[in-house]
Amino acid sequence: MLKLAAGARVFMAVTPVDMRRSFSGLSAIVGEALGSNPLSGDVYLFRGKRSDRVKAMMWDRNGLAIWYKRLERGKFKWPSPDAPSMELTEHELTLLLDGVDFTRIRRLPHFSLQSAYA
């Protein structure tokens, strides 16, 4: 399983990438298309055209690391928002990597004291 550093944010690139890309190619996508710094300590997710493979790239103390997963059956359920990337929670990342379609899970509204006593 993928272990995240404390405070790391997770971003997924919405459009598919060539899965033959490695450190330099994925870093270029992070910098140019996503407008982020690949050395920030955040996690960046990429998928291939068939949606059965996912790569995660992150800075790990002293160098970039790539984590790669292929599903033997099925496809990763990737959302398609308007932005070039979207941020995920750590829980959503776990669901995605477990093959769960987290895009269909409906989140309840957050509780606030003002709305409870209005």
| pLDDT at residue number 108 | 67
Q: Give the whole-angstrom CA distance, residue 38 versus residue 44.
A: 8
Q: Give the whole-angstrom CA distance, residue 71 versus residue 97.
A: 9
| pLDDT at residue number 55 | 96
Whole-number Cα distances in Å, 51 to 17, 94, 107, 110, 118 = 10, 16, 24, 32, 46
- Which helix (DSSP H) or strand (DSSP E) does residue 23 occupy? helix 23-32
Residue 26's identity, in one-letter code, is L
What three-state secondary structure class fits 95? helix
| pLDDT at residue number 56 | 94
Name the pLDDT band for 113 (thresholds 50, 70, 90): confident
DSSP 8-state secondary structure symbol assigned to residue 26: H
pTM for this predicted structure: 0.80
Please compute the mean of the pLDDT values over residues 90-107 and round it to a whole number.
80
5-27: pLDDT as tens digits = 788 899 999 889 999 999 999 99
26-82: pLDDT as tens digits = 999 999 888 899 999 999 999 999 989 999 999 988 899 999 999 898 888 877 767
Nearest CA among 59, 55, 28, 56 for reference residue 41: 59
